[in-house]
Amino acid sequence: MSYPDTVNLPFNAAVIQRDFVPLAAGAADPGEPGYWAILRGNALVVEAQGDSLALPCGDIAAGLAGDQAPLLIGRWRGQPLRALRISGQAPLPAPLRAEPFNAAEERLDDVTLTLGGVAQQILHWQRNSACCPRCGTATEPLAGSWGKRCLGCGSEHFPHIHPCAIVLVRRGDEFLLIRKPEWPPGRFSLVAGFVDFGESLEECARREVREEAGVEVTNIRYLGSQCWPFPSQLMAGFVADYVGGELRADPGEIEDVRWFSAGRMPDSLPSRRSIARWIIDNYAGVRP
């Protein structure tokens, strides 16, 4: 799929909207065979179909449930789509395999990634909303949504989506990238971080650049956004212009920070499934 704008990036709903009908919590499960979005750690369980990887379909995954009840989350191509999280050590019968979401080789297509991302967010929310964060009492589903109501104090809670700003800083023909120590060797990416109390997205972008790279920016412009279900972020992308300061990596978080250009690139860039790579390809002047 080509990416004329970020609405078509993996994990955004537009990728699956033609064939996916979402269902709210409590929807009656028809019991018929269907598709499975099975999570094992940070991997999606898939089945090899020729040269491609796809979600399992039919009864092939039924034996993996164990004591857990699969969760109906929608209908995919007219059949039920159920989500399930299994142990990271659970054996997988052939022809199933666990494909990491962040695998260096991008073997999962955009549709499979997005369906897996929907399951990831829903299962994360279900696991973390079983008890009320206000009083600790058990919660119950709110009809027609994924929201929860506390059985004790009656407060209502809805899925937590965490906004983040991610920003490309440009200085003439150069652009700024940072490196975190936990990333693969040689990997550089954009400055990014969570929105703090009392901040707009643009203010977050400016603060993160100052904290992570030590420089100041101006003329911050919004580019687009991407759902990032790891576990539940919304990445808002920006481009900004360098206005002053010397590079200084945040010693508590950043291993390296540098200016790059089309003729002087890092060894490795973010995966093409990410808005970080989309921004670099489209706004750094290095599109392949």
Give the tens place of pLDDT for each residue, 118-139. Answer: 999 999 999 999 999 999 999 9
**Mean pLDDT in residue range 11-39:** 93
Q: Which residues of 20-56 are buried (b: 16+ CB within 10 A; e: fewer)?
A: beebebeeeeeeeebbbbbbbeebbbbbeeeeebbbb
Residue 220 reports pLDDT greater than 90: yes
Local structure of 286: helix, strand or coil: coil
Cis peptide before 159 (omega within 30 of 0): no
- Class for the domain spanning 162-283: alpha beta
Cα 63 to the center of its chain, rounded Å = 28
**Chain segment 140-163, per-residue pLDDT in tens:** 999 899 999 999 999 999 999 999
The contacts of residue 120 (CB under 8 Å, 6+ apart) are 39, 101, 229, 230, 231
**Chain segment 251-284, per-residue pLDDT in tens:** 999 999 999 999 999 999 999 999 999 999 999 9
- From CA 240, how far away is CA 169, in angstroms rounded? 5
The domain ranges of the chain are 6-127, 129-159, 162-283
Residue 7 reports pLDDT greater than 80: no
**Chain segment 29-60, per-residue pLDDT in tens:** 999 999 999 999 999 999 988 888 999 998 86
Identical fold, 6-127 and 162-283: yes
- Per-position DSSP letters for 92-121, written without gaps between them: --TTEEEEETT-SS--S-HHHHHHHHHHHH
The per-residue pLDDT for 105 is 86
Which pTM value belongs to this model? 0.92
Residue 3 reports pLDDT greater than 50: no
**Chain segment 75-97, per-residue pLDDT in tens:** 999 999 999 999 888 889 888 99
Alpha carbons within 13 angstroms on the beta-carbon side of residue 179 total 17
Residue 191 reports pLDDT greater than 90: yes
According to DSSP, residue 182 is labeled T
The per-residue pLDDT for 2 is 47
Closest among 96, 88, 108, 104 to 42, alpha carbons compared:
88
Domain 6-127 architecture: Alpha-Beta Complex (3.90)
Task: Give percent of the chain above pLDDT 70.
Answer: 94
